């Protein structure tokens, strides 16, 4: 059967002038797909103009036309299987582009609106003393915006640092228990279940928990950086446990056995063989967990409050972080009549936050490659 | 160095499943003993009971006694870690530690245990162990390179060097050549012959020519059927096992008429 159909295909093209490779079937010329794309864009633009031009309809029409045309064209020239392949290929590329749009849009918007407010003054000054009157004066005089996010930057760094200090040991030890000691016992099953539950805790609930917990110990209004750090660590611990667990699981059992066979104790095997082998994955998992909580707003508001002056002591007084700074600048502008300076500060803080998260992600990659088991001869 | 092993009426279990039944065997010091038999007959499982590696597997336990120069490995109060530092093991697949250099791999038994060792002692131990594993000349210029960069055969010899660096009395080898090419296999077999002068060597192998080439005595294990426990069928001088076995099953197996 298959021999017959393939014969039919190779028989359709006009007799070749020189001997053609009997294995190759009809193939679209190289320019065909770009040409189809160009055609689809032109027709898409035309169709879109008919119904009142907009970028969205233009993109949708062009994309649909291109996928249809390219699929049909490939199917006709190269055969049904290649046609199906083309369709899925273009659909997959399409969804990739679609997923990229929000990211690119966010980056563009934040850069566009945040860059004007970004300056060394913004980075190294707090909002202390910057009142509505100052902002009004700035707008009236057209001078650069005063006040910055230094206090919020320090708050973010300190609270996240403390959250990390709390969650990494707890999370890593939990994961070590789950993988190395608990095996599949009832306790490890229970821990796994509760870690999964913890993953789903809304961040505001974590914040309320920390606020209530410290409220019971230290009395009401116990708001300070460390309470926020505890709230964030409630959110971080499950992530750290999960990623560490996955990394420890993929350490080959042979390495543990090799160490045991050398007369190495279990805890030393874990400490010196298992963890070093998995450390790159663990480190990047931890960094991603930090990146996840660094942008939390709600739990910070209920645990650390809001501040406009620099406070580097997490154990006393209220603190701001970048997200709460953004939130407050937008929601309650410093000067209700001239909100532009506040909006500008908020966008600059947003840019700063995105840069920090990006740096963390890059850091995770760097850490992963630094710690990865060395290859080479 | 080089102690004898006497096993008396040993039963090996995985949880409730009896994997190996009623083994009694005497292994002479400074000799090479080969375990042969079909897959699943329990020879690797039995080998792992000789340095208490069997119990690393959840549910793994044994009944009976294993005497190392008269001391019961499974006696009350015996620390498996002590046992394993005296009875080393080389595994089927070479498993050097990926995070360590060649040198650190050799020193792993010392360093992982947190023992202090002076630089000169460490260097001489590395050289001695690598020479003992016939690997020194191939790696002496790249001791600080990762062990995972070596070829499979070299990695296996690195694992042997790592094992002899802790100065065990007995070396157990679980199919050490099954993942290696004939040239590397030959290198390991030559090495086993040399190790015999200092250590008691027990080797599990699927390769009967290998058993015939390297071992002084051979033990044939067999299994009556799936789900049945493996048993020691015959244990004798290697020459006798291969030329004049007493049991019909042994003869069938070594002559290739098995199954």
Give the pairing type, strands B170-174 and B200-204: parallel
Cβ within 8 Å, pair B113-A263: yes
Per-residue pLDDT of chain B (259 residues; tens, 9 = 90+): 688 999 999 999 998 899 999 999 999 999 999 999 988 888 999 999 999 999 888 888 999 999 999 899 998 999 999 999 899 999 988 999 988 999 999 999 888 888 888 999 999 999 989 988 888 999 999 999 988 889 888 999 999 999 989 889 999 999 988 888 888 888 889 889 988 998 999 999 988 889 999 999 999 999 888 888 999 999 999 999 999 899 888 988 888 876 4
Count CB pairs under 8 A between chains A and B.
88
Give the pLDDT of residue B113: 83
> Which residue segment(s) compose the domain that A81 sits in?
27-115
CATH among 3.40.50.2300, 3.40.50.300, 3.30.1510.10, 3.40.630.30 for B5-254: 3.40.50.300
A contacts of B148 (beta carbons < 8 Å): 373-375
A297 and A203, same structural domain?
Answer: yes
Handedness of CA A92, A95, A96, A97 (dihedral sign): positive
Q: Are residues A215 and A321 in the same domain?
A: yes
Q: What is the pLDDT of residue A377?
A: 47
Instruction: Identify whether residues A71 and A192 lie together within a single domain.
Output: no
Q: Give a yes or no: residue A5 inside a domain.
A: no
Helices assigned H by DSSP within chain B: 43-49, 80-86, 102-106, 108-111, 119-132, 136-139, 152-165, 182-195, 208-214, 238-243, 248-254
- Averaged pLDDT of chain B: 90
Give me the number of domains chain A comprises.
2
User: Do A257 and B53 lie within an 8 Å CB cutoff?
Assistant: yes
CB contact under 8 A, B142 and A376: no
Between CA A9 and CA A24 the distance in angstroms is: 10
- B48 in contact with A, Cβ within 8 Å: no
- Locate the chain B residue with the closest alpha carbon to A265: B81
My answer on whether A256 and A282 are in the same domain is yes
CA–CA distance, A276 with A265 (Å, rounded to integer):
16
A97 and A230: one domain?
A: no
Helix (H) or strand (E) holding B13: strand B5-14
Within a domain: residue A196? yes
Nearest CB partner across the interface for A262, out of B56, B108, B114: B108
Where does a domain end: A115, A144, A173? A115
Query: Which CATH number characterizes residue A333's domain?
Result: 1.10.3720.10
* A62: nearest Cα among A49, A75, A74: A49
User: In the listed set A66, A86, A115, which residue is the last one of a domain according to the structure?
Assistant: A115
CB contact under 8 A, B84 and A261: yes
Chunked into runs of 10 residues, chain A (377 residues) has average pLDDT values of 46 58 74 89 89 86 90 88 91 93 93 91 88 87 88 94 95 94 89 92 93 89 90 95 94 92 91 90 89 90 88 88 92 88 93 92 85 63
Q: Does B84 touch chain A (CB under 8 A)?
A: yes
What is the sign of the dihedral through the CA atoms of A20, A21, A26 and A27? negative
Q: Is residue A236 part of a domain?
A: yes
> In this structure, what are the phi and psi dihedrals at residue B65, rounded to the nearest 5 degrees?
-130, 150
Q: Does residue A13 lie within any of the structural domains?
A: no
Shared domain for A171 and A245, answered yes or no, is yes
Based on the domain organization, do A90 and A187 belong to the same domain? no
Distance from CA of A183 to the nearest CA of B (A): 8
What are the pLDDT digits (tens) for A82-110?
A: 889 999 999 999 999 999 999 999 999 99
Residue B240: exposed, middle, or buried by beta-carbon count in 10 A (0-12, 13-18, 19+)?
middle
Examine residue A95 and state whether it is found in any structural domain, yes or no.
yes
Q: Coil, strand, or helix at residue A145?
A: coil
Packed helices A225-249 and A275-293: angle between N→C axes, nearest 10 degrees: 140
Whether residues A52 and A104 share a domain: the answer is yes
Q: φ, ψ for residue B91 (rounded to 5)?
A: -100, 170
Same domain, A102 and A153: no
Interface touch A263/B166, C-beta < 8 Å: yes
Q: Are residues A214 and A174 in the same domain?
A: yes
CB contact under 8 A, B97 and A260: no
| Same domain assignment for residues A300 and A344 | yes
Q: Which residues contact B73 (CB under 8 A, 6 or more apart)?
A: B50, B51, B52, B65, B66, B67, B83
CA-nearest of A163, A156, A154, A160 to A310 is A154
Model confidence pLDDT, tens digit, residues A48-67: 888 888 888 888 889 999 99
Same domain, A54 and A150: no
Of A115, A147, A179, the one marking the end of a domain is: A115
């Amino acid at each position: 059967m298959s021999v017959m159909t393939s014969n039919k295909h190779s028989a359709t093209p006009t007799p070749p002038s020189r001997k053609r490779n009997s294995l190759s079937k009809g193939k679209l010329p190289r320019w065909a797909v770009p040409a189809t794309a160009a055609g689809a864009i032109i027709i898409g633009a035309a169709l879109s103009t008919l119904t009142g031009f907009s970028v969205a309809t233009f993109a949708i029409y062009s994309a649909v036309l291109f996928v249809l045309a390219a699929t049909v064209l490939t199917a006709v020239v190269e055969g049904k299987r290649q046609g199906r392949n083309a369709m899925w290929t273009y659909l997959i590329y399409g969804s990739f582009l679609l997923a990229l749009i929000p990211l690119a849009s966010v980056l563009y918007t934040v850069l566009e609106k945040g860059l004007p407010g970004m300056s060394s003054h913004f980075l190294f000054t707090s909002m202390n003393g910057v009142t509505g009157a100052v902002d009004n004066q700035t707008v009236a005089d057209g001078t650069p915006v005063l006040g910055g996010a230094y206090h919020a930057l320090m708050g973010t760094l300190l609270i996240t640092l403390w959250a990390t200090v709390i969650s990494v040991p707890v999370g890593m030890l939990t994961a070590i228990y789950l993988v190395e000691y608990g095996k599949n016992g009832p306790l490890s099953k229970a821990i796994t279940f509760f870690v999964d539950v913890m993953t789903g805790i809304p961040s505001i609930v974590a914040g309320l928990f920390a606020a209530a917990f410290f409220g019971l110990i230290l009395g009401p209004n116990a708001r300070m950086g460390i309470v926020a750090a505890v709230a964030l660590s409630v959110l971080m611990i499950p992530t750290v446990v999960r990623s560490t667990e996955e990394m420890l699981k993929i350490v080959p059992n042979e390495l543990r056995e090799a160490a045991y066979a050398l007369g190495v104790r279990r805890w030393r095997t874990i400490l010196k063989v298992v963890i070093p082998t998995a450390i790159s994955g663990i480190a990047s998992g931890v960094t991603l967990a930090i990146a996840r909580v660094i942008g939390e707003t709600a739990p910070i508001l209920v645990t650390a409050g809001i501040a406009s002056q620099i406070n580097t002591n997490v154990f006393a007084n209220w603190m701001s972080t970048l997200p709460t700074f953004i939130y407050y600048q937008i929601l309650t502008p410093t000067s209700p009549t001239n909100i532009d300076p506040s909006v500008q500060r908020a966008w600059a803080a947003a840019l700063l936050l995105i840069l920090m998260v990006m740096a963390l992600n890059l850091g995770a990659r760097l850490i992963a490659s630094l710690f990865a088991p060395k290859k080479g001869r | 160095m080089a102690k004898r092993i006497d096993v008396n009426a040993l039963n090996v279990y995985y949880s409730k499943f009896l994997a190996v039944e009623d083994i009694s065997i005497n292994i002479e010091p400074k000799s090479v003993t080969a375990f042969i038999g079909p897959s699943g007959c329990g020879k690797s499982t039995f080998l792992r009971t000789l340095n208490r590696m069997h119990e690393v597997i959840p549910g793994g336990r044994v009944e009976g006694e294993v005497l190392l120069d008269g001391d019961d490995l499974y006696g009350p109060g015996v620390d498996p870690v002590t046992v394993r530092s005296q009875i080393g093991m080389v595994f089927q697949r070479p498993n050097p530690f990926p995070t360590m250099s060649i040198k650190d791999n050799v020193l792993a038994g010392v360093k992982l245990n947190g023992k202090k060792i002076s630089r000169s002692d460490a260097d001489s131990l590395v050289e001695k162990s690598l020479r003992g594993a016939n690997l020194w000349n191939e790696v002496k210029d790249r001791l600080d390179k990762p062990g995972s960069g070596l070829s499979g055969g070299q990695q296996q010899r690195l694992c042997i060097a790592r094992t002899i660096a802790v100065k065990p009395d007995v070396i157990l080898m679980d199919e050490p050549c099954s993942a290696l090419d004939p040239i590397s296999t030959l290198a390991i077999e030559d090495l086993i012959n040399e190790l015999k002068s200092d250590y008691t060597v027990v080797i599990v192998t699927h390769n009967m020519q290998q058993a015939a080439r390297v071992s002084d005595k051979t033990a044939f294990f067999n299994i009556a059927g799936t789900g049945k426990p493996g048993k020691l069928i015959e244990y004798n001088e290697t020459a006798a096992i291969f030329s004049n076995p007493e049991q019909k099953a042994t003869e069938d197996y070594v002559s290739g008429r098995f199954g």
